[in-house]
C-alpha cells in the first residue's frame, strides 16, 4: 500500500453570490466547506450586503477535496464535507474517487456511505495485477501446489475473472481497488 503524506485534504468551496455572478461580477471567496451554512452575503461581497440587484443566493462555483460534480448550494456542500471529514485523511482521496465512481453506495440522504467505503476499500496498488497477486498470497491460493506446477498458473485469466468483483479508479501512482459485491 502507498503511504500518502502531507497532502491537504480539507474540503473547500469557492462561494459566490449568484446575482453578482449572473451580472458578470465574479465575486467570492474560498471557505472550508464545513462552514457552508455560516457563510453570509457580506463574506463574499468584501463586507457589503448588497452589490448587485437581487443579491440573495450564495452558490458554490468551485470546490476541492469534495466528491461533487459541478455546482451546488453551500448547504449541500457542507453536508458532503461532513461525510468526507469522517474519513481518515490518508483515505480521503480514495473515498472521493469511490464516491464519484458510479459504484458507490449512498445512505438515505443520498450521501456516500463511509461504512460501505470502509468495507469495500482494498487499498492503493501499483496495478490491479499487483493487488490480485497479493490476494492470492493472502488466501493461500497456490499453497501446497508444487512450484513446477504453480508456475504454469494462468495469472492473466485469474486476474481478469477477479476483476469482475472489483471496481478500480486509476490514479497517477496506480489504482484504488474497491470490492463491488
Ligand atoms: Zn451579490
Q: In DSSP terms, which residues pair with 176 in a beta bridge?
A: 124, 169
> 57-116 pLDDT, tens per residue?
999 999 999 999 999 999 999 999 999 999 999 999 999 999 998 888 888 888 999 999
Calculate how far, in angstroms, residue 70's C-alpha sits from the geometric centre of ligand 1: 20
The CA distances from residue 167 to 15, 68, 86, 121, 127, in Å, are 33, 19, 22, 10, 12
**Taking the domain 113-181, which CATH number applies?**
1.10.10
Q: For residue 5, what pLDDT band results from cuts at 50, 70 and 90?
A: low
Q: For residue 143, what pLDDT band results from cuts at 50, 70 and 90?
A: very high
Ranges of CATH 1.10.10 domains, the chain: 113-181
Calculate how far, in angstroms, residue 48's C-alpha sits from the geometric centre of ligand 1: 9
Environment of ion ligand 1 (residues, CB < 5 A):
17, 19-20, 51-52, 55
Calculate how far, in angstroms, residue 95's C-alpha sits from the geometric centre of ligand 1: 34
Calculate how far, in angstroms, residue 17's C-alpha sits from the geometric centre of ligand 1: 5
Calculate how far, in angstroms, residue 67's C-alpha sits from the geometric centre of ligand 1: 27
Calculate how far, in angstroms, residue 42's C-alpha sits from the geometric centre of ligand 1: 9
Percent of the chain scoring above 90 in pLDDT: 83
Statement: residue 157 has pLDDT above 80 = yes
Total residue count of the chain as it appears in this document: 181
The C-alpha atoms of residue 132 and residue 127 are separated, in whole angstroms, by 9
Amino acid at each position: 500500500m502507498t503511504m500518502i503524506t502531507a497532502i491537504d485534504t480539507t474540503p473547500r468551496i469557492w462561494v459566490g453570490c449568484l446575482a453578482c455572478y449572473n451580472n458578470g461580477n465574479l465575486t467570492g471567496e474560498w471557505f472550508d466547506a464545513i462552514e457552508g451554512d455560516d457563510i453570509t452575503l457580506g463574506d463574499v461581497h468584501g463586507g457589503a450586503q448588497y452589490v448587485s440587484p437581487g443579491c440573495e443566493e450564495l452558490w458554490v462555483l468551485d470546490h476541492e477535496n469534495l466528491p461533487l460534480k459541478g455546482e451546488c448550494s453551500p448547504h449541500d456542500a457542507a453536508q458532503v464535507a461532513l461525510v468526507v471529514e469522517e474519513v481518515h485523511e490518508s483515505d480521503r482521496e480514495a473515498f472521493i474517487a469511490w464516491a464519484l465512481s458510479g459504484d458507490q453506495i449512498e445512505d438515505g440522504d443520498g450521501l456516500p456511505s463511509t461504512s460501505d467505503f470502509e468495507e469495500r476499500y482494498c487499498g492503493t496498488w501499483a496495478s490491479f495485477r499487483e493487488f490480485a497477486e497479493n490476494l492470492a498470497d493472502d488466501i493461500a491460493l497456490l499453497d501446497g501446489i508444487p512450484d513446477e506446477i504453480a508456475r504454469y498458473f494462468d495469472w492473466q485469466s485469474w486476474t481478469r475473472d477477479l476483476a469482475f468483483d472489483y471496481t478500480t479508479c486509476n490514479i497517477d501512482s496506480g489504482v484504488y481497488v474497491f470490492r463491488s459485491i
